[in-house]
């Protein structure tokens, strides 16, 4: 289908439209109005006015007494009802992002002019939510202990969600929420309705000051058709706006090594506590420009942190051991303007800025020569126009431009050496590198409430003309040792560069366009039963690129056209290889139907059943799927030297080769151009999951509720990068007789053939904030497996199948994000005297890790063979994770609304060591032992405290 036809269909749909739900910037208010006998009252005028900004919208109850007001900016509203002959009523409630708040009225006959005002709690149960998720409120954001003050930390409070660091080292200080067995890359991050995703490595891009975050809705499974670009979950964040009163804040949080406990790494190496000092400070201000009409808000936050990382090379390089500095700086700023153009049109414009400088690749087993400094700069400009068109029609238009630039410099150009125990020295093979992304996003959502149907149609278009990556694999050869000794045998020597050159780097340009169209219907079948029906279509261009410059690609195409990969003479299956005989084409069949239901069993919102099923497509982030193949297509950079012998490389005289000696003869023969490290399928696919859920919510009274949700997600077309051109019985490589030049090298094929499965059940208890107490606690029992990655169902890893002759026959393995048992509990308690106590407890059962022999038992050229009796990858289990954090604060009233809050926060109060990253190779003396602990870089913290002060006015 041509682009013109796609857009023509969209415009036709918008013109003839049929209606929907609130998108990721607003919420919906609805309810039923009846008389004293419980009979429906039609024709009642309903007005909702924001108590802080004066913004208001109106509606009228229909023949069933039902009213609905969509497109309300997040906040607290006073809802008034008026009908001649009846006493006017007013109730106060809150509206949350991408949620429906229900407020019912029972009106009485007026005996005189009167108005009845009732204070109503925000509804504890969203009777229209068919999927699974949770709203993190302003009270939780303001009061719970947050290490680093990143809002993503709070996402871990949502049932079924884990918290870890983003696995890509370019985001070394960024926390990542994990859902459905993922590592944080299968989540769609929307800030004020705008795309905030990294299209290179996945995950969150820009960070925002915590004081600018109003609230967010984390939909972990089974969200509606108006949201896509994720086969896991979606986080919809709304930033704060100004109000009719000038309000502001200023704060400072401080840490010092005198407030810290020793890390485990410091303890076992008998080191004193490393230098540690952190300042995190900022301010915010908002208020009216024109009361009830125009408001502004701004916030700024800075992190200035100086910590250390102890390094031990485990006796291999004593002169490289020590304690080394880890400087980290970050600035975040937001400015926002909101303006009610008229009673029917509401405009919001927001600018965000973020930059940082942070360590790259720091590790307790790698000295600073293998590190780097990662510098990031982000800009985003977001505009949203919310328009009531009359007759129950609402239109929301969003535009966003975003800019991202990353540069990682190298700390050295020394040869790289790696050992089985995890020690590595020399230049990081991933430095230097840069990433640049420019995005233009246009989105329109049209809603029409018509009778019992709440219809919505919409389209989204993201143009990313710049997605550029430059990188190098080091300036010197890379050596792999067979044992934990500097004089041990070397199994692999490799070097990338250009023919006749001496190393260097390459540039990948991956411009792309992302189209999405959807139609959605919320059908109120009865006053208790609602069906949520939708269908979505996603289409991405830019993945079926020209690879004719890639030597491997040309030879695979020639072989496929000869029918080699359909021949029984070649040990197969070679799933995906047969596609090299076909013309490149984009993935065009990404149709995603979705259906769900809610049933209000008692009709009063206290017992709600929900469930549904649907398909969810993601964006195949480029690093996992095509990045290195794009580089390979340039034919100017790739492998120019390779020597491999899993029994130990030898010199011409038969002695074992040692680092520093002249390099042995190159095993790459007949090579006229560099052999790339990757080649991609000419028929790329976007990954997806088929999801289902079934559960219920039950209100217990006094603001408490319990929820139980069973969830299931089956993933398909996940990116895998297997090495299949291995040696056969220590001899020639598998394709040596088929691919004349590239058949002598080792390389990976980027395919979309991976699968995954996640199943879990969440048990939740929660209590609504009543000014005294808020509670959210959950237990999750789950199972996550994948055939595509060791790390997570949304990760790629460097996948090496157990058998190169049956690469997709491996049993699905547990991922490292497969935590069978998870417990999370949080509370905000304000007993009296301005005192607030807020704990968070997190527990995860043992993480999986891989177990390999460390020897080449099948002589295929790799040392990743499984030991006897071990049938799957990731068969080992490490240690449990647990952490208790606490925040205690005292608010001191100074004058009027001005107050000073004195804060003390403690993290990991039990000083749990929380071991991680286990040695996989059985040849290592450290086999099965963890290499990282709490307090190490990119790990949870050892016990530490921080002090803070906050002024609010």
Q: Alpha-carbon distance 753 to 874, whole Å? A: 20
Q: Measured between alpha carbons, how far is 829 from 774 in angstroms, rounded to an integer?
A: 7
Strand, coil or helix: 703 = coil
What is the rounded distance in angstroms from the CA atom of residue 827 to the CA atom of residue 888? 12
What pLDDT score does 505 carry? 65
Structure confidence at residue 18 (pLDDT): 33
Residue 234 CA to residue 452 CA, distance in Å, equals: 27
Query: By the 8 A CB rule, do 929 and 423 touch?
Result: no
CA angle 882, 359, 933 (to 5 degrees): 25
For residue 775, give both structure tokens. 């509670």
Average pLDDT over residues 362-379: 92
Q: Which of 769, 71, 782 is nearest to 394 (CA)?
A: 71
Q: Is 392 helix (H, G, I), strand (E, B) or coil?
A: coil
Question: What percent of the residues of the chain are helix, what percent strand, and what percent coil, each to the nearest 5?
Answer: 10, 50, 45
By the 10 Å C-beta count (0-12 exposed, 13-18 middle, 19+ buried), 682 is classed as buried
* DSSP H or E run through 555: helix 551-561
* Strand partners of residue 466: 438
d(C-alpha 193, C-alpha 421), whole Å: 46
Residue 823: its pLDDT value, please?
97
- The answer to whether residues 643 and 664 touch, using CB atoms and an 8 Å cutoff, is yes
Task: Retrieve residue 864's tokens.
Answer: 């990743």
- The set of residues, in sequence order, having a beta carbon less than 8 Å from that of 660 and lying 6+ positions away, is none
Of the candidates 23, 139, 75, which has an alpha carbon nearest to the alpha carbon of residue 773? 139
- Domain extents in the chain: 22-119, 132-239, 247-349+357-943
Q: Is 924 helix (H, G, I), strand (E, B) or coil?
A: coil
Helix (H, G, I), strand (E, B) or coil at 265: helix
Element (H or E) spanning 559, and its range?
helix 551-561
Higher pLDDT, 914 or 730: 914
Which of 126-140, 396-410, 855-869, 889-903 shows the lowest per-residue confidence on average (mean pLDDT)?
A: 855-869
Q: Which residue has the tokens 């269908």?
A: 535
Structure tokens at 514: 């992302």
Pick the CATH number of 247-349+357-943 from 2.60.120.680, 2.170.150.20, 1.20.1440.230, 2.40.170.20: 2.40.170.20
Q: What's the pLDDT score for residue 474?
A: 67
For position 686, what pLDDT does the model report?
94
Burial 466-481 (b: 16+ CB within 10 A, else e): ebbbbbbbbbbbbbbb
pLDDT in tens, 107-121: 888 765 455 555 555
Exposure of 652 by Cβ count < 10 A (0-12 exposed, 13-18 middle, 19+ buried)? exposed
| Confidence check: pLDDT of 455 > 70 | yes
Q: Which tens digits make up the pLDDT trace of 694-737? A: 999 999 988 899 999 999 999 999 888 888 888 888 888 888 88
Q: Is 588 exposed, middle or buried (0-12, 13-18, 19+ CB in 10 A)?
A: exposed
Higher pLDDT, 810 or 818: 818
Contact predicate 905/880, CB 8 Å: no
**Does 13 have pLDDT greater than 50?**
no
Secondary structure element (H or E) that encloses residue 691, with its range: strand 688-701
Tell if the pTM clears 0.85, that is, is over it: yes
Q: How far apart are CA 509 and CA 678, in angstroms?
A: 16
pLDDT at 3: 43
pLDDT in tens, 511-532: 999 999 999 999 999 989 999 9
Secondary structure of residue 385 in the 3-state scheme: strand
CATH number of 22-119: 2.60.40.10
Residue 320, judged by CB atoms within 10 A of its CB (0-12, 13-18, 19+), counts as: middle
Q: Is the pLDDT of residue 459 over 90?
A: yes
Parallel, antiparallel, or unpaired: how do β-strands 26-34 and 100-102 relate? parallel
Average model confidence (pLDDT) for the chain? 88
Q: Which residues contact 566 (CB under 8 A, 6 or more apart)?
A: 578
pLDDT computed for residue 33 by the predictor: 92
Answer whether 914's CB lies under 8 Å from 409's CB.
no
Say whether domain 132-239 belongs to CATH 2.170.130.10: yes
Name every residue whose Cβ is closer than 8 Å to that of residue 653 and which is 6 or more positions away in sequence: none
| pLDDT > 70 fraction of the chain, expressed in percent and rounded | 92
Strands of 203-321 (E only): list them. 213-221, 233-239, 247-256, 277-290, 294-311
CA atoms 941, 942, 948, 950: torsion sign: positive
- CA-CA distance, 264 to 269, in Å (whole number)? 9
262-266, 436-440, 627-631: which is most confident: 436-440
- Neighbour order of strands in the sheet with 424-425: 424-425, 416-418, 478-481, 490-497, 638-644
- Report DSSP letters for 336-383, one per residue: EEEEEEETTEEEEEEEEEEEEEEEES-BTTB-GGG-EEEEEEEEEEEE
Say if residues 948 and 253 touch (Cβ distance below 8 Å).
yes
Considering 416-430, 638-652, 682-696, the range whose residues carry the highest mean pLDDT is 682-696
Beta carbons of 643 and 650 less than 8 angstroms apart: no
Rounded to whole angstroms, what are the CA distances from 33 to 37, 45, 67, 119, 778? 11, 10, 8, 17, 35
> Cα(570)–Cα(561) distance, rounded to whole angstroms?
15
| Helix, strand or coil, per DSSP, at residue 14 | helix
């Amino acid at each position: 289908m041509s682009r013109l036809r796609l857009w023509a269909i969209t415009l036709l749909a918008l013109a003839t439209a049929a209606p929907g739900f609130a998108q990721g910037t607003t919420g919906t208010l609805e309810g039923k109005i009846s008389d004293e006998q419980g009979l429906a009252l039609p024709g009642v005028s309903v007005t909702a006015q924001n108590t802080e900004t004066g913004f208001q919208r109106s509606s009228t109850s229909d023949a069933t007494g039902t009213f609905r007001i969509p497109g309300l900016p997040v906040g607290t509203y006073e809802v008034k009802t008026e009908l001649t002959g009846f006493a006017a009523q007013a109730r106060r409630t809150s509206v949350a992002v991408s949620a429906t708040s229900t407020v019912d009225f029972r009106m009485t006959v007026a005996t005189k002019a009167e108005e009845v005002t009732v204070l109503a709690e925000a509804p504890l149960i969203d009777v229209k939510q068919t999927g699974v998720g949770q709203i993190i409120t302003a009270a939780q954001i303001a009061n719970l202990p947050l290490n680093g003050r990143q809002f993503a930390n709070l996402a871990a409070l949502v049932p079924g969600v884990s918290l870890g660091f983003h696995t890509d080292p370019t985001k070394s200080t960024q926390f990542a929420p994990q859902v459905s067995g993922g590592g944080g890359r299968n989540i769609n991050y929307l800030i004020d309705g705008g795309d905030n995703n990294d299209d290179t490595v996945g995950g969150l891009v820009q960070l925002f000051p915590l004081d600018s975050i109003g609230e967010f809705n984390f939909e972990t499974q089974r969200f509606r058709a108006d949201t896509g670009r994720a086969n896991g979950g979606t986080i919809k964040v709304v930033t704060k706006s100004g109000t009719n009163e000038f309000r502001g804040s200023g704060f400072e949080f401080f840490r010092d090594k005198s407030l810290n406990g020793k890390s485990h790494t410091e303890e076992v190496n008998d080191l004193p506590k490393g230098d540690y000092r952190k300042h995190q400070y900022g301010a915010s201000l908002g208020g009216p420009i024109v009361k009830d009409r125009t408001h502004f808000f701004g916030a700024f936050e800075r992190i200035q942190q100086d910590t250390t990382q102890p390094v031990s090379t485990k006796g291999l390089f004593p002169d490289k051991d020590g304690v080394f500095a880890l400087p980290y700086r970050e600035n975040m700023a937001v400015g926002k303007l909101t303006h009610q153009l008229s009673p029917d049109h509401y405009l919001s414009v927001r600018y965000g800025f973020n930059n940082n400088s942070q360590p790259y690749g720091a590790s307790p087993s790698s000295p600073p020569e293998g590190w780097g400094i990662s510098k990031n700069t982000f800009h985003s400009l977001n505009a949203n126009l919310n328009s009531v068109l009359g007759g129950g029609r609402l239109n929301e238009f969003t535009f966003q431009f975003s800019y991202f630039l990353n540069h990682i410099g190298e700390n050295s150009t020394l040869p790289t050496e790696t050992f089985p125990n995890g020690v590595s020295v020399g230049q990081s093979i991933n430095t230097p590198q840069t990433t640049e992304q420019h995005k233009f996003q246009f989105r329109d959502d049209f809603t029409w409430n018509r009778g019992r149907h709440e219809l919505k149609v919409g389209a989204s278009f993201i143009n990313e003309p710049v997605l550029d990556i430059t990188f190098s694999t080091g300036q010197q050869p890379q050596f792999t040792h067979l044992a934990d000794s500097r004089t041990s045998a070397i199994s692999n020597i490799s070097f990338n560069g250009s023919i006749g050159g001496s190393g260097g780097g390459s540039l990948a340009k991956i411009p792309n366009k992302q189209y999405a169209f959807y139609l959605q219907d919320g059908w109120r079948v009865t006053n208790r039963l609602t069906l949520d029906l939708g269908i979505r279509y996603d289409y991405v261009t830019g993945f079926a690129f020209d690879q004719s410059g890639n030597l491997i690609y040309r030879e695979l195409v020639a072989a496929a056209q000869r029918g080699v990969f359909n021949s029984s003479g070649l040990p197969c299956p070679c799933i995906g290889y047969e596609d090299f005989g076909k013309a490149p084409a984009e993935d065009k069949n990404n149709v995603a139907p979705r259906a769900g239901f809610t049933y209000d069993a008692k009709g009063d919102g206290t017992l709600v059943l929900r469930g549904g099923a649907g398909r969810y497509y993601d964006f195949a982030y480029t690093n996992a799927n095509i990045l290195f193949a794009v580089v390979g297509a340039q034919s100017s950079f790739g492998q120019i030297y390779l020597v491999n012998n899993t029994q130990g490389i030898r010199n011409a005289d038969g002695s074992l080769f040692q680092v520093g000696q002249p390099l042995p003869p190159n095993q790459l023969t007949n090579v006229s151009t560099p052999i790339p490290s990757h080649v991609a399928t000419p028929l790329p696919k976007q990954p997806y999951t088929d999801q289902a859920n079934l559960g219920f919510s039950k209100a217990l009274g006094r603001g408490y509720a319990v929820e139980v949700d069973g969830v299931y997600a089956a993933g398909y077309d996940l990116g895998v990068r297997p090495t299949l051109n291995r040696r056969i019985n220590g001899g020639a490589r598998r394709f040596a007789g088929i691919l004349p030049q590239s058949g002598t090298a080792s390389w990976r094929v980027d395919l979309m053939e991976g699968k995954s499965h996640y199943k879990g059940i969440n048990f939740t208890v929660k209590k609504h904030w009543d000014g005294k107490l808020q509670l959210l606690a959950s237990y999750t029992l789950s199972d996550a497996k994948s055939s595509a990655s060791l790390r997570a169902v949304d990760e790629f890893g460097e996948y090496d199948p157990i058998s190169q002759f049956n690469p997709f026959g491996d049993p699905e393995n547990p991922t490292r994000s497969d935590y069978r048992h998870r417990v999370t509990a949080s509370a905000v308690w304000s007993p009296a005297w301005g005192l607030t106590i807020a704990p968070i407890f997190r527990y995860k059962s043992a993480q999986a890790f891989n177990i390999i022999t460390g020897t080449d038992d099948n002589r295929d050229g790799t040392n990743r063979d499984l030991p006897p009796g071990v049938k799957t990858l990731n068969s080992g289990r490490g240690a449990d994770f647990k952490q208790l954090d606490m925040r205690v604060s005292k608010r001191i009233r100074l004058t009027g609304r001005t107050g000073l809050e004195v804060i003390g926060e403690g993290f990991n109060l039990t000083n749990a060591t929380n071991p991680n990253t286990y040695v996989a190779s059985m040849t290592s003396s450290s086999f099965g032992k963890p290499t990282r602990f709490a307090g190490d870089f990119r790990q949870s913290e050892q016990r530490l405290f921080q002090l803070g002060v906050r002024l609010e006015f």
